[in-house]
Amino acid sequence: MRVFKFGGASVKDADGLKRVAEILKATDGKIIVVVSAMGKTTNALEKLVPKLNAKETEVLIREIEEYHYGIAKACITCLYKDKVCDILQETFSELRKLVKEYPLTNYDERYDQIVSYGEIISTHIVSCFLSDEGITNTWIDARKFVCTDANYRDAKVDFTKAEKCFETLTKSDIIITQGFIGCTTDGKTTTLGREGSDYTAAIIAYCTNAESVTIWKDVPGVLNADPKKFSDTVKIERLSYQDAIELAYYGASVIHPKTIKPLQNKNIPLYVKPFIEPASAGTCIDADSTPLSIPCFISKADQALLSLSPKDFSFIAEENLSFIFDIFAKLKVKVNMMQHSAINFSVCFDNGISKLPELLDAFQDNYRVLYNDNVELFTIRYYDQATIDKLVAERNILLEQRSRYTVQLVLK
């Protein structure tokens, strides 16, 4: 059994679905296919989470509906055209009812119930299209297998329960299922965090003891930098689990941070390959421990840097650290870098939805607070001084932290 994962860019239009079919036709054996929401559907569904008036709601749903009907009608032309239209009609009717009736008492819970429809819709279209192409497949609902807690928008998977559920999985040659979503024991839909479909593929591979996972992307493999920001990127042919985990943790967008560990635990190789050139070798991630010979650059924009000093001049030790981390955990702030001295603690964190006002309010009574917003965090794995000098030219370094293999720089 192998696991394939196709992201939103791979299935954003009829041409993308045709490439999926070509890849599956050229592949022998049993495959579980994990599919993300099409294109920017997740972003569109997020707009429905706040309570809107009926007119605004209908306009947004109609746009999402027309996009998906357009893809379905462009590529499904024979026996399954009526079937997919019936499925979409029923699914969008459910979505309209859910958006109208589901309470907003818990924003994150409502978010998961609504946004999960992107994957449900996309997999129905993919399944019907493949059937239309003569590729026999079975559609399954991932929520019956991926068992999680109720930590909405970042649910924790219960691997023991999930493994037992996957034991009952049908033995069809090709199975189509959703990435990103799971379910609590009381039947509530959960999500695994944005871009969580990679993680779903790893969960399924772990639970089924798959021989490999392949993530099909719109890039030639894992690159040593974002080609949108660096002009001289290099594809990495082979990457260790350790380096992949480090790069994903620091923000490399090609792989979801949680993806690697389940695969490492069972020594399952991960391939990152371009769906436009499926014969390409891509990148292999496995137990190989050879250090990379080139530096890897990771950039995270829209960061904030916060520095705290106790007003009573007490040390930044266990008691202060416990209080500080408790605040960050309660406010669900994603910390990307931290550093402390005897009486100072600095932290760089994601500030996409501004957390600064809440943090300032929480700390101002007991700490002197300094902060910078709109800063950028750069991480260089396997750095040397020349790479640092080139990166920081004419920019102000607000904070720097080095280990044997990695340097992090907060730049303004």
Q: Which residues of 242-275 are buried (b: 16+ CB within 10 A; e: fewer)?
A: ebbbbbbebbbebbbbbbbebbbeeebbbbbbbb
How far apart CA 368 and CA 17 sit, in angstroms, is: 55
Tokens standing for residue 402:
């080095």
Tokens standing for residue 75:
């590529």
pLDDT at 76: 93
pLDDT at 376: 94
Residue that the structure tokens 């709109």 belong to:
374
Q: How many helices (H) and strands (E) does the chain have?
A: 13, 16
How far apart CA 88 and CA 70 sit, in angstroms, is: 11
CB atoms within 10 A of CB 74: 14
Q: Are 157 and 148 in contact (CB under 8 A)?
A: yes
Listed in order, strand segments (DSSP E) in 278-325 are 283-286, 296-310
Does the CA dihedral 318-321-322-323 come out positive or negative?
positive
pLDDT at 185: 94
How far apart CA 250 and CA 382 sit, in angstroms, is: 13
pLDDT in tens for each of the 412 residues of the chain?
A: 999 999 999 999 999 999 999 999 999 999 999 999 999 999 999 999 999 999 999 999 999 999 999 999 999 987 788 999 999 999 999 999 999 999 999 999 999 999 999 999 999 999 999 999 999 999 999 999 999 999 999 999 999 999 999 998 877 899 999 999 999 999 999 999 888 999 999 999 999 999 999 999 988 999 999 888 888 899 999 999 999 988 888 888 778 889 999 999 999 999 999 999 999 999 999 998 888 899 999 999 999 999 999 999 889 888 889 999 999 999 988 899 999 899 999 999 998 667 889 999 999 999 999 999 999 999 999 999 998 998 888 899 999 999 999 999 999 9
pLDDT at 178: 98
The alpha carbons of the chain give a radius of gyration, in whole angstroms, of 23
Does the CA dihedral 86-146-98-153 come out positive or negative?
negative
Residue in 278, 270, 280 with CA at minimum distance from that of residue 22: 278
C-alpha angle 19/46/201, rounded to 5°?
45
pLDDT at 360: 92
Residue that the structure tokens 């993680």 belong to:
199
Tokens standing for residue 287:
């137990």
Task: List domains and CATH numbers for the chain.
Answer: 2-286 (3.40.1160.10), 296-411 (3.30.2130.10)
How far apart CA 4 and CA 38 sit, in angstroms, is: 16
Listed in order, strand segments (DSSP E) in 13-129 are 31-35
> Measured in whole angstroms, how far is the alpha carbon of residue 64 from the centre of its chain?
21
CA distances from 155 to 35, 87, 193, 194, 215 (A): 19, 28, 7, 11, 22
How far apart CA 245 and CA 219 sit, in angstroms, is: 19
Listed in order, strand segments (DSSP E) in 258-392 are 270-274, 283-286, 296-310, 335-340, 345-350, 367-381
Tokens standing for residue 352:
């996409």
